[in-house]
Amino acid sequence: MGESAKPQPTLELVAARAGVSRATVSRVVNGSTKVSAEVNEQVNKAIAELKYVPNRAARSLANGRTNSIALVIPENAAKFFSDPYFATVIQGAAMYLADTEFTLTLLIATEADPAKTGRYLRGGNVDGALILSHHSDDRSYVELAGSLPMVFGGRPMSNESGELHVVDVDNVAAATTATRTILESGRSRVATIAGPQNMGAGQDRLQGWREALEPVGLATDLIEYGDFTPPGGEAAMISLLERGVDIDGIFIASAQMAFGALKILHERGIRVPEDISITTVDNDSYAQSASPPLTTIEQPAERQGAMMAQLLVTLIAGGQVPERTIINTVLIKRGSH
């Protein structure tokens, strides 16, 4: 007869090898800080010698946790991979979670079947979710917030479910500051290329542009809309120029759209900032590599991701967190205004 298979190492075997109790081994495996460095070393040595693998599935069943967090981005794949904002937020969240028991699962929720993502989140696969780039037609995530710990990156458009937890910048103030920067350079016919109006950031930045112009009696009807992408900025810039209105300044609601708008202005022989002053939001690669480099409002996306993750971990543990956390922004002055 062949040699019988060796039994899988257990907590009891590890405890016997290390000369400690089963409870002590359990504390070490679960990362407890109540174990001395010497005992911790003994237990980890025994774990290595016996090739013990903690049964994380059993641990999850015992405490009702999956130790998994979803980061949901309701955008198509092309938008996700082309926007540096998403990568920076993900990096911030992942860096924070690296020192915890939680694993980050990325979900790109396509328009083809948004309900599929909702079923996954409701199915007990994760302990909580981070929702980024929320649109008004993604109402299912807002509704889900009542039954699953969730933190939103950016203001959701609706709040039917009551208490929501949001980490955001003050987009109204950011747009107001950026627009006033144009006015301070002596410009008086200031247009805007606004973002999507089914997103909180799109609405708030349009409001901030208006709040800069209205108190000084300037017109607020020079508006075109884009989708926060370079092609969207190109199309909006063409529409703005086709109005035939003399414009000497533009606040553009994202650096990607400003990058696209600059391309059209260069093609038309319109100089920036000599003929038209431009300011925007996002201090990303688009803002920095534009010609000229863009004066912009920097929103710390990496810090936003880390803060979102921190608040969600607190919620999962049963703690209290504020409904709205606002992160400060900074005006970065460059050559476009």
Tell me the average pLDDT across 111-129: 78
Query: Using the 8-state DSSP alphabet, how is residue 216 labeled?
Result: G
- The per-residue pLDDT for range 277-328, each reduced to its tens digit, is 999 999 999 999 999 999 999 999 999 999 999 999 999 998 999 999 999 9
In a domain, 334, yes or no: no
Tell me the average pLDDT across 251-279: 97
In a domain, 77, yes or no: yes
Q: What is the DSSP string of 240-252?
A: HHHTT----EEEE
Alpha-carbon distance of 59 to 64, in angstroms, equals 8
**Residue 128 pLDDT > 90, yes or no?**
yes
Alpha-carbon distance of 174 to 296, in angstroms, equals 9
**Residue 24 pLDDT > 70, yes or no?**
yes
Comparison of pLDDT for 81 and 4, the residue scoring more: 81
Does 121 share its domain with 263?
A: no
- Partnered with residue 72 across adjacent β-strands are 107, 131
Kindly calculate the radius of gyration of the chain based on its CA atoms and give it in whole angstroms: 26
Tell me the average pLDDT across 91-99: 93
In a domain, 6, yes or no: no
Does 180 share its domain with 292?
A: yes
Closest C-alpha among 247, 180, 168, 245 to residue 211: 180
Tell me the average pLDDT across 157-179: 84
pLDDT at 285: 93
**Residue 169 pLDDT > 90, yes or no?**
yes
In a domain, 239, yes or no: yes
Alpha-carbon distance of 70 to 253, in angstroms, equals 28
Does 192 share its domain with 259?
A: yes
Flag the least confident range among 55-64, 128-137, 181-190, 317-326. 55-64
Comparison of pLDDT for 68 and 116, the residue scoring more: 68
Does 76 share its domain with 146?
A: yes
Give percent above pLDDT 70 in the chain: 88
Does 237 share its domain with 292?
A: yes
Does 283 share its domain with 293?
A: yes
In a domain, 228, yes or no: yes
With contact defined as beta carbons under 8 Å apart, do 121 and 144 qualify?
yes
Q: How crowded is residue 107: how many other Cβ atoms within 10 Å of its Cβ?
A: 19
Total structural domains within the chain? 3
Does 200 share its domain with 133?
A: no
Does 146 share its domain with 197?
A: no
Residue 209, domain CATH = 3.40.50.2300
Binned at pLDDT 50, 70 and 90, residue 161 comes out as: very low
pLDDT at 64: 65
Does 49 share its domain with 19?
A: yes
In a domain, 49, yes or no: yes
Q: What is the DSSP string of 248-268?
A: -EEEESSHHHHHHHHHHHHHT
Does 186 share its domain with 232?
A: yes
- The per-residue pLDDT for range 172-186, each reduced to its tens digit, is 999 999 999 999 999
Question: What kind and span of H or E run contains 73?
Answer: strand 68-73
Give percent above pLDDT 90 in the chain: 60
- Average pLDDT over the chain reads 87
Q: Record the tokens describing residue 215, joined without a space.
A: 């108190």
Q: In what order do the strands lie in the sheet with 150-153?
A: 103-108, 68-73, 128-132, 150-153, 166-169, 324-327
pLDDT at 2: 44
Alpha-carbon distance of 328 to 46, in angstroms, equals 48
What is the dihedral angle through the alpha carbons of 80, 82, 88, 93, rounded to the nearest 10 degrees? Answer: 20
With contact defined as beta carbons under 8 Å apart, do 248 and 278 qualify?
no
Residue 35, domain CATH = 1.10.260.40
Does 314 share its domain with 165?
A: yes
In a domain, 333, yes or no: no
CA distances from 315 to 72, 148, 151, 325 (A): 17, 10, 9, 14
Q: What is the DSSP string of 297-308?
A: EE--HHHHHHHH
Phi-psi region of 14 (alpha: psi -120 to 50; beta: other; left: phi over 0): alpha
pLDDT at 168: 94
Alpha-carbon distance of 240 to 222, in angstroms, equals 8
**Residue 167 pLDDT > 70, yes or no?**
yes
Does 33 share its domain with 78?
A: no
Tell me the average pLDDT across 122-135: 85
In a domain, 337, yes or no: no
Range of the domain at 176: 171-298
Closest C-alpha among 86, 140, 150, 136 to residue 113: 140
Comparison of pLDDT for 57 and 172, the residue scoring more: 172
